[in-house]
């Protein structure tokens, strides 16, 4: 019975067999870090600090991520290990639950940001993000692949290291910025370091997964997807 | 004949075969997939996989659709509504028997 249950979970695990999910998240984290850096280090009224720029940036990132992974799957994954179309849930409740959870997470993150600004404390931005991302990673990726627990641990340890950095050090990342009039420089630096750290970790982990995938799968042959038995055709 | 043996005897023989059980379980979790995916996940050779799929198709549990991915032929496989119901029933009975 357990074997049947594990078979039922395999198609979900297949979604990240090539590491594209992690590469996507890594790309997004680094893009956010770049946008944050541009916002902090350009004048207050520059184009990077306009609200619409945030929407354009996020929109472009989502488009690049969506079409990028689609192309990746189409040209690399499907010809090597096959195509899967996932089922859409029969009920809308799982989607609503995810949206409610995302809203709670966003509220907690916003509260963390406000606290960080008020408390002059590196720990506030780095720790909740670290815990949240490590837990989500463990749930989403590490459950199915054992070595990825090391990645979850490195997210957590990296966040702890950022939290433990002296405020003067993290503050240098936002030194001289207009944004320090609104937020503490050390908090901005802490967020920037978190985004860079998570981006780098996800890219490395996704890259290793992709390399292992290429090593363990064969390049497609022309007739690879053809059943041998005429009955199925 | 005790109840457990009777429940075992009532199990759907088409699904109960280990190879076909693997195929049906994988298809149950997705909307559709291609032949290559099933071959990769089950590690069966083309001939064995094809014969299992033919048996499942005969029973009306699997739908086979022939399409093309670019110029390469692609065989898409999907569990039918009957196949889904049969697998759910099979799981319930197996749970009961164990």
Give the pLDDT mean for A50-71: 92
Q: What is the ipTM of this complex?
A: 0.85
Note whether A158 and A130 are within 8 A (CB): yes
Which of B35, B39, B49, B96 should be substituted to probe chain A, the one whose Cβ sees the most A Cβ atoms within 10 Å?
A: B35
Go through B6-26 and write b for each residue having 16 or more CB atoms within 10 A of its CB, e for each that does not.
Answer: ebbeeebebbeeeebbbbbbb
How many C-beta atoms lie closer than 10 Å to residue B74's C-beta?
19
pLDDT at residue A141 tops 80: yes
What pLDDT, in 10s, does the model give residues A161-202? Answer: 888 888 888 878 777 778 777 777 777 888 889 999 999 999
Provide the number of CB pairs (under 8 Å) joining chain A to chain B.
112
The reply to whether residue A8 touches residue B29, judged by beta carbons under 8 angstroms, is: yes
Q: Which residues in B lie closer than 8 A to residue A225 (C-beta atoms)?
A: 34-36, 69, 72-75
Note whether A231 and B59 are within 8 A (CB): no
Give the pLDDT mean for A81-99: 81
Give the pLDDT mean for A140-162: 89
The predicted structure's pLDDT at residue B84: 94
The reply to whether residue B26 touches residue A11, judged by beta carbons under 8 angstroms, is: yes
Domains, chain B, ranges and CATH? 3-97 (1.10.10.10)
In whole angstroms, what is the distance from residue A132 CA to residue A76 CA?
31
In whole angstroms, what is the distance from residue B88 CA to residue A11 CA?
18
pLDDT band for position A122 (cuts 50, 70, 90): low
Give the pLDDT mean for A97-110: 78
Q: What is the DSSP string of A37-62?
A: HHHHHS-TTSGGGSHHHHHHHHHHHH
Note whether A175 and A185 are within 8 A (CB): yes
Q: Which residues in A lie closer than 8 A to residue B38 (C-beta atoms)?
A: 82
The predicted structure's pLDDT at residue A223: 53
In whole angstroms, what is the distance from residue A173 CA to residue A186 CA?
8
pLDDT band for position A133 (cuts 50, 70, 90): confident
In whole angstroms, what is the distance from residue A125 CA to residue A111 CA?
10
In whole angstroms, what is the distance from residue A27 CA to residue A219 CA?
26
What pLDDT, in 10s, does the model give residues B25-79? Answer: 999 999 999 999 999 999 999 999 999 999 999 999 999 999 888 788 889 999 9
The reply to whether residue B72 touches residue A225, judged by beta carbons under 8 angstroms, is: yes
Q: Give residue for tokens 């790309």.
A: A27
Beta bridge partners of A189: none
Give the pLDDT mean for A205-209: 96
What pLDDT, in 10s, does the model give residues A19-59? Answer: 999 999 999 999 999 998 898 888 888 888 888 998 999 99
A59 exposed, middle or buried (CB, 10 Å; 0-12, 13-18, 19+)? exposed
pTM for the full model?
Answer: 0.79
Q: How many residues does chain B have?
A: 98
Q: Which one, of A193, A62, A186, lies nearest residue A130 by Cα? A: A193
pLDDT at residue A94 tops 80: no
Q: Among A11, A88, A222, whose Cβ lies nearest the Cβ of B29?
A: A11
Our CA angle for A19, A149, A8, nearest 5°, is 65
Which helix H or strand E contains A69, and what residues bound it? helix A51-72
The predicted structure's pLDDT at residue A230: 46
In whole angstroms, what is the distance from residue A208 CA to residue A214 CA?
10
Q: How many CA atoms lie within 13 A of A166 on its CB side?
A: 3
pLDDT at residue A233 tops 50: no
Give the pLDDT mean for A108-122: 65
């Amino acid at each position: 019975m357990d074997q049947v249950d594990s078979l039922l979970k395999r198609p979900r695990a297949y979604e990240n067999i090539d590491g594209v999910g992690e590469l996507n998240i890594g790309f997004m984290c680094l893009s956010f870090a770049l946008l944050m850096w541009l916002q902090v280090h350009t004048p207050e009224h520059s184009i990077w600090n306009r609200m619409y720029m945030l929407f354009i940036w996020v929109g472009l990132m989502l488009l690049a991520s969506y079409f990028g992974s689609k192309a990746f799957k189409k040209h690399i994954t499907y010809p090597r290990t096959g195509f899967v179309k996932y089922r859409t849930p029969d009920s809308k409740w799982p989607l609503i639950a995810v949206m409610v959870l995302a809203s709670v997470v966003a509220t907690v993150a916003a509260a963390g940001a406000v606290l960080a600004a008020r408390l002059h404390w590196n720990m506030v931005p780095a720790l909740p993000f670290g815990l949240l991302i490590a837990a989500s990673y463990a749930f989403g990726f590490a459950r199915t692949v054992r070595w990825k627990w090391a990645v979850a641990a490195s997210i957590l340890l990296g966040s702890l290291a950022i939290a433990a950095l002296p405020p003067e050090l993290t503050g240098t990342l936002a030194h001289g910025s207009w944004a320090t009039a609104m937020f503490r420089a050390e908090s901005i630096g802490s967020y920037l370091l978190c985004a860079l750290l998570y981006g780098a970790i996800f890219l490395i982990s996704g890259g290793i997964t992709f390399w292992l995938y290429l090593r363990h799968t064969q390049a497609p042959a022309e007739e690879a997807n053809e059943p041998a038995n005429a009955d199925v055709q | 004949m005790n109840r457990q043996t009777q429940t075992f005897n009532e199990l759907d023989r088409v699904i109960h075969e280990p190879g076909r059980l693997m195929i049906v379980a994988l298809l149950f979790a997705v909307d559709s997939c291609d032949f290559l995916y099933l071959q990769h996940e089950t590690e069966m050779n083309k001939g064995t996989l094809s014969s299992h799929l033919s048996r499942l198709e005969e029973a009306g549990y699997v739908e086979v659709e022939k399409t093309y991915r670019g110029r390469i032929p692609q065989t898409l496989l999907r569990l039918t509504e009957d196949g889904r119901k049969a697998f759910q029933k099979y799981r319930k009975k197996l749970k009961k028997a164990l």
